[in-house]
Amino acid sequence: GAGVSQSPSNKVTEKGKDVELRCDPISGHTALYWYRQSLGQGLEFLIYFQGNSAPDKSGLPSDRFSAERTGGSVSTLTIQRTQQEDSAVYLCASSSPDSNQPQHFGDGTRLSIL
C-alpha cells in the first residue's frame, strides 16, 4: 500500500507480558517516528529514527521501552513487562528526506493491558 502500515491493529495482553508493535513506513521515507496517544492526552513523542543515524530516544518513558529499525525500513517497538499505564494507541509516522515534508501517520496499534 501507499501509506504507513502498522500491525497489529489491536493488541490485548496481560500485565507483565512483553509486546512487539510493528511499523512499515512509506517506501523511500528515511525518517520514522513512534508516538503514543493516551486517553485524554495528546500525542507523546517516543523515538525518532533518521537514516543510519543513532535514534533519538529522548521520549521513551522508561527502560521497558525500546525500538529498532532494521535495514532502514521496518521498525519494531517493544514494551517489556507491560503495565496498565502502557495502554494507549501507538502511532508510527514517516517522512521523506526533504526537510520540508510533513509526517504521514499509520492507523496505529491500540494496546490494552489487562
Partner 1 sequence: AQSVSQHNHHVILSEAASLELGCNYSYGGTVNLFWYVQYPGQHLQLLLKYFSGDPLVKGIKGFEAEFIKSKFSFNLRKPSVQWSDTAEYFCAVYGGSQGNLIFGKGTKLSVKP
Q: Which of 48, 77, 86, 88 binds partner 1 (CB under 8 A)?
A: 48
Closest approach of Cβ 103 to partner 1, in Å?
A: 6
List of E strands, the chain? 5-7, 10-13, 19-24, 31-37, 43-50, 65-69, 75-79, 88-95, 104-105, 109-113
Three-class SS state of 8: coil
- Pick the closer one to partner 1 by CB: 14 or 39: 39
When asked if residue 58 is in the footprint of partner 1 (CB under 8 A), the reply is yes
Q: Of the candidates 21, 25, 35, 86, which one interacts with partner 1 according to CB under 8 A?
A: 35
Residues 6+ apart with CB under 8 A from 19: 11, 13, 78, 79, 82, 111
Q: According to the binding rule CB under 8 A, does residue 90 interact with partner 1?
A: no
Among 1, 28, 42, 71, binds partner 1 (CB under 8 A): 42
Q: Which is nearer to partner 1, 49 or 113 (CB)?
A: 49
Backbone φ and ψ for 101, nearest 5 degrees, come out as -95, 140
By CB under 8 A, residue 5 contacts partner 1: no
